[in-house]
């Protein structure tokens, strides 16, 4: 079962890679085909199925290969590429494996634990949170939401605060506008 079912649809994953996504050497099509969507903070990506988060992409990286290196048990990856493909990129094979330890110390990976699908190795800092909020507020779909804020009984400031709180506490964006609006309304009800 997918950890992020709202991104099961290939087109939705593809749409998450806006013109602001900083990696230009890898096509957004390839990211989306490999199961990744952009979480709109720098070059952070996440697999909709297994939940592994990858960042620190090089223009020469292949999303399929990186997925195989860091999440060899992902059922989506297994179905699409097969066990032999995945095995060829595991430690001890000669397929150009870069050590997981090196990638982890470079904060390349964010792995969900067995108990929490949003657990990450490194928490976003305040600057990254502000950047994410700023970028998110500039998305065309967010702009449409902002046009209807007054009808929904919430302000742009409340939406921003709800997103900041979510990123600070869970290190991840909302899965839907409905969840985001609900969180903003809950904030407005707090003293």
Residues 93 and 140 in one domain: no
Say whether both 174 and 85 belong to one domain.
no
Q: What is the total count of domains within the chain?
A: 2
Query: Which parts of 99-183 are beta strand (E)?
Result: 109-110
Q: What is the pTM of this model?
A: 0.53
| Same domain membership, residue 21 and residue 78 | yes
- Regarding whether 151 and 101 lie in a shared domain, the answer is no
- Residue 115 in domain: no
CA distances from 182 to 23, 106, 132, 137, 142 (A): 32, 35, 19, 17, 15
In a domain, 183, yes or no: yes
Q: Does residue 164 sit within a domain?
A: yes
Domain that holds residue 40: 5-110
Q: What is the pLDDT along the chain (191 residues), one digit of tens a residue?
A: 888 899 999 999 999 998 778 887 899 999 999 999 998 878 889 999 998 888 889 888 999 999 998 888 889 999 999 988 988 887 654 443 333 332 332 344 444 443 333 333 356 677 777 877 887 787 777 777 888 887 778 888 999 998 888 877 776 777 777 888 888 888 888 76
Which are the contacts of 77, defined by CB distance < 8 A and separation ≥ 6?
34, 35, 47, 49, 50, 64, 67, 68, 71, 86
């Amino acid at each position: 079962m997918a950890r992020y079912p709202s991104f099961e649809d290939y087109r939705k994953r593809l749409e998450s890679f806006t013109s602001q996504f900083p990696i230009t050497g890898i096509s957004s099509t390839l990211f989306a085909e490999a199961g990744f969507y952009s979480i709109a903070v720098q070059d952070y990506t996440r697999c909709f199925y297994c939940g592994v988060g990858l960042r620190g992409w090089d223009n020469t990286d292949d999303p399929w290969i990186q997925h195989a290196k860091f999440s060899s048990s992902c059922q989506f990856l297994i179905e699409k590429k097969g066990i032999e493909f995945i095995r060829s990129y595991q430690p001890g094979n000669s397929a150009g494996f870069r050590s997981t330890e090196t990638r982890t110390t470079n904060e390349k990976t964010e792995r969900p634990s067995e108990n929490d699908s949003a657990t990450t190795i490194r928490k976003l800092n305040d600057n990254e949170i502000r950047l994410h909020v700023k970028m998110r507020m500039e998305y065309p779909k967010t702009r449409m939401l902002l046009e209807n804020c007054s009808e929904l009984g919430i302000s742009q400031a409340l939406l921003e605060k709800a997103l900041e709180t979510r990123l600070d506490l869970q290190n991840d964006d909302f899965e839907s506008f409905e969840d985001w609006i609900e969180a903003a309304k809950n904030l407005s009800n707090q003293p």
